[in-house]
Chains A and B, each alone.
Chain A
């Protein structure tokens, strides 16, 4: 069965024998977007987050058959090293990444948040990132980075 979806501004057609195949594997294996990461496969850690039609979603939980007509942005389509998204630039400025594995989810969830709510409070940022696990313990820096990206400051 073939499916058409828009990834990072380009229409892509993919073949999949399984309509329940999670989008994460389609992105990583069929389309070569390895920015979204496999962390738990159960929607419990946030490492696989992509932005679909403006909302942060767990790509490990979204079946390919449900993506028809969706506009999907992966971290590869958010910004580049030369022209980073404000959240990406702030992550560098605040040294908010350590091992880099949860970073995809942290960046994508934060980018989706500030697209909806350009001036979130610290509590709103914590709320938005409550489902994103990081074992390196970068939480404090991530919060600082999101505030920086929105022109705020953390005490």
Chain B
């Protein structure tokens, strides 16, 4: 390992601009002649639009244009799409209702886009929006996940008269039911996975621009995947062909999934730029972000676990209703299906699994991928069930887990996935040691002396990352392939630009990707620049989500570097007057096997460009290579998190006393960055477990639409984290990496709730476990003492 290579805790290159205020985010950009867009949004959760009168608004000062759904329709601008086809168990395709960028005839959630005002200033646009007269016929709103399908519910989309998008299933029902019939013990649990608002600190923003000279549109946008945005805006929405549309996603201030999707606002800005002949800018305010950024989670689940007389898990079954909101967002259909049920085997060897999922429409903000996307929901089901089963059986929860772990690899689960490598018992043992599990009884007695309830909770999570083999996801309904591309451009002086289709919005790619190049080419890390986020620079890319940038994005760079080294050897053969087969490359030097003849990487790069030592007929000049990498399997990061809490039964306040995380991410490129990602994931998971919950009134008003009403974790809410690692290299990529970005958010909620339920002595604690919830739980008699 070099000081800047793989495994080194290199300090982040991008931080120099972030800590001096020189980051360049979409809202920091202003274009000459720019005007401002403001969206008039529906105040009703469900209503017919009988008419819209924009006459008065058009006459207001500074107003340039007011557009409605009729204008979008007249220009044949296509609707927003959902790019993952799910079929119901009866074989019928999912019921995708229309999703126009500006409402046409109906609104389906509070915040739905009704009209856009474009004016010289934002203040003028807002004032004019107040003068738009919309005649609504208000309809009853359906907001509740568990009742949206009931007889007599208001119909949200005509295509889905029972508000059901699909009735999907996975696994063998008959075999699973038979295993339950034969079980010695069955554990049952009812769970709600609370709705979350992603809330990246940077609100979404967009600037659309149209160049009349060459007919090219440019869109600056807060996107995790600018090429996917361009593809959708071109091929489906029909703004312009791809070569006439440039999408730039500069520095992006956090995404957590919510900036994967292609939304109405950027669609309207780029379309309207040509209509008004000036750049059109929109920046979301925080209330708009709460109302219109795709939300996360929102599942209601009944799940059961069957065990035999030896405490071996024999089967798991689950029935989930997933709230998808008022429209299908870009990847929403896949989240509670293929990103969820295939993870229901957890880290356990379970022979029989069956899962049914109903996706439902409600008059709420669309729900889509949020950090972990489906996998936190699966982990919460599995780990709450396993913990409850251990308690019911009177077994130590750690021993019960260890007994049921998958112990040999590869392991085929009954729900699609083939786990390739892992050592779950090693992570468990290490976590128990760091957490001082041996003395938990003593600490509980100490707390009891002070009138407090102490509890400990495990979460043995697994995730499927490195999303994903294109053929595999294609067979499951994905509309795109999920490979990644890279291009390595070596300059004549030996400095290097790497163009990647991954997008960094907090993950530190400019550092970790450069570490890979520094290690493999033996060049100083300062000589490497990582270029991303511009469709005019990077040829194509699928973007960053699903912890895929290391396993897929970096592997594409790795493959391109292979080609650069191979080409370099050919050039070196001419320069060093040897045959290419005798050239070796190590530590930044080309050498002739068995001799002392060497040449630096930079010297060979120069020779490749001046091309004096070889003829152009024998070898192409230059040193630039690209690669597309399609993974052969998902990757399977896994680990054990242990949360220890102390509950004050008098107030219901839960204090997290200590947090232990032992994760197996395979090979770690930069431990400092990985640990930071783990911290961040845990913070979001603790937020879900203790603080956060989006709430709607019965009329469909989001009552938690500001930071005063929706609690995000702050410095004082979080403990110090004790982070450990175990390593089983991933066998499916040459770097051995698995991914780390989502782990904490996947592991944490179950660990917290398992700890609180241990403390209060029964399983009836829902998320978010606020002081009120926990105080009420403390009033209920303990079921039985947790196994010590």
* A31 at interface, CB cutoff 8 A: no
Of the listed stretches A51-59, A61-69, A80-88, name the one at the interface; the rest are far from the partner chain. A80-88
Of the listed stretches B93-101, B465-473, B674-682, name the one at the interface; the rest are far from the partner chain. B674-682
* B607 at interface, CB cutoff 8 A: no
Greatest chain B CB density within 10 A among A40, A45, A79, A137 is at A137
Closest Cβ of chain B: how far from A76's Cβ, in Å?
5
On chain B, the number of residues with a Cβ less than 8 Å from chain A's Cβ atoms is: 58
Contact B21 A34 (CB under 8 A): yes
* B150 at interface, CB cutoff 8 A: no
> How many A-B pairs fall under 8 Å by CB?
175
Contact B508 A45 (CB under 8 A): no
Contact B253 A100 (CB under 8 A): yes
Contact of B712 among A92, A101, A104, A135 (CB under 8 A): A135
Contact A98 B676 (CB under 8 A): yes
Closest Cβ of chain A: how far from B505's Cβ, in Å?
5
B19 cross-chain contacts in A, Cβ below 8 A: 75, 84, 88, 91-92, 97, 103, 107
Contact B254 A41 (CB under 8 A): no
Complex Cα–Cα for A139 and B659 (A): 15
Contact of A37 among B25, B123, B681, B720 (CB under 8 A): B25
* Closest A residue to B682 using CB positions: A137
Q: What 1/0 flags go to B13-25 for Cβ under 8 Å of A?
A: 0111111111111
* A29 at interface, CB cutoff 8 A: yes
Size category, A interface: 35 or more
B12 cross-chain contacts in A, Cβ below 8 A: 92, 95, 97
* A99 at interface, CB cutoff 8 A: yes
Contact B15 A91 (CB under 8 A): yes
Contact A98 B680 (CB under 8 A): yes
B505 cross-chain contacts in A, Cβ below 8 A: 99
Closest Cβ of chain B: how far from A128's Cβ, in Å?
9
Closest Cβ of chain B: how far from A139's Cβ, in Å?
4
A23 cross-chain contacts in B, Cβ below 8 A: none
A79 cross-chain contacts in B, Cβ below 8 A: 20
B681 cross-chain contacts in A, Cβ below 8 A: 137
* B285 at interface, CB cutoff 8 A: yes
Contact B679 A133 (CB under 8 A): no
B:657-682 near A, CB below 8 Å: 672-673, 676-677, 679-682
Contact A35 B21 (CB under 8 A): yes
Complex Cα–Cα for A18 and B16 (A): 35
Contact B715 A130 (CB under 8 A): yes
Q: What 1/0 flags go to A116-155 for Cβ under 8 Å of B?
A: 0000000001110110111111111111000000000011
Contact of B200 among A41, A76, A135, A155 (CB under 8 A): A135
Contact of A137 among B23, B198, B707, B713 (CB under 8 A): B713
Contact of B676 among A35, A40, A138 (CB under 8 A): A138
Q: What 1/0 flags go to B257-301 for Cβ under 8 Å of A?
A: 000000000000000000000000001011000000000000000
Contact A35 B201 (CB under 8 A): no
Q: Do A139 and B714 form a contact, CB below 8 Å, given A37-B253, A44-B706, A98-B680? A: yes
* B506 at interface, CB cutoff 8 A: yes
* Closest A residue to B504 using CB positions: A99
Q: What 1/0 flags go to B680-721 for Cβ under 8 Å of A?
A: 111110000000000000000000001110001111101011
Q: Do A81 and B16 form a contact, CB below 8 Å, given A44-B707, A137-B713, A140-B721? A: yes
Closest Cβ of chain B: how far from A136's Cβ, in Å?
5
Closest Cβ of chain B: how far from A41's Cβ, in Å?
6
* Closest B residue to A131 using CB positions: B714
Closest 3 CB pairs of A and B: A35-B21, A137-B683, A101-B253
Known: A80-B20, A95-B15, A137-B713. 4 other contacts (CB 8 A): A39-B203, A76-B20, A99-B251, A126-B715
28 A-B residue pairings within 8 Å (CB atoms): A36-B21, A37-B27, A39-B201, A41-B285, A42-B707, A44-B708, A76-B21, A80-B20, A92-B16, A95-B672, A95-B673, A95-B676, A99-B200, A99-B202, A100-B17, A100-B506, A101-B201, A103-B19, A104-B21, A130-B714, A132-B714, A135-B198, A135-B200, A135-B256, A136-B506, A137-B684, A138-B679, A142-B715
B interface, CB within 8 angstroms of A = 11-12, 14-25, 27-28, 30, 123, 198-203, 251-254, 256, 283, 285-286, 505-508, 672-673, 676-677, 679-684, 706-708, 712-716, 718, 720-721, 744
